[in-house]
Amino acid sequence: MSDGKNGGSSEAAPDASIDLRGVKCPFNFVKTKLKLETMDSGQTLVVVLDPGEPIANVPRSVQEEGHALLKTTPRPDGLYEILVRKA
């Protein structure tokens, strides 16, 4: 139950995470998809992505696969984190 605001202590920790910095398209989506396949429906995954093509393509692709994109967060180091809930 998120109201879209950051910093809420009611947010549960993600069930898994994967760091894909430096991984080129389309391999970053393939690795994300493979990770999601090992998870149960309703579990959440944090994916760390580079700017550019990865942050443009991976969120769209996971949504096209039917998963929910819960949040996209830019990081101070120039990378991005997306939070995905497995369908």
Question: What is the predicted pLDDT for the residue at 12?
Answer: 86
Structure tokens at 29: 């989506």
Question: What is the predicted pLDDT for the residue at 64?
Answer: 98
Domain containing 34 equals 16-85
Residue 28 lies in a domain: yes
Structure tokens at 14: 């993600």
- The answer to whether 1 is a known catalytic residue is no
Residue 1 lies in a domain: no
Count of domains observed in the chain = 1
Residue 22 lies in a domain: yes
Closest CA to 21 of 11, 31, 12, 36: 31
Q: Which residues of the chain have pLDDT under 70?
A: 1-11
Give the whole-angstrom CA distance, residue 23 versus residue 21: 6
**Structure confidence by residue, pLDDT tens digits, 15-38:** 999 999 999 999 999 999 999 999
Question: What is the predicted pLDDT for the residue at 86?
Answer: 98
Give the whole-angstrom CA distance, residue 56 versus residue 79: 12
Q: What is the DSSP letter of 87?
A: -
Structure tokens at 82: 């997306």
Question: What is the predicted pLDDT for the residue at 9?
Answer: 45
Q: Is the pTM of this model over 0.75?
A: yes
Residue 23 lies in a domain: yes
Give the whole-angstrom CA distance, residue 2 versus residue 8: 8
Out of 16, 25, 69, 79, pick the active-site residue: 25
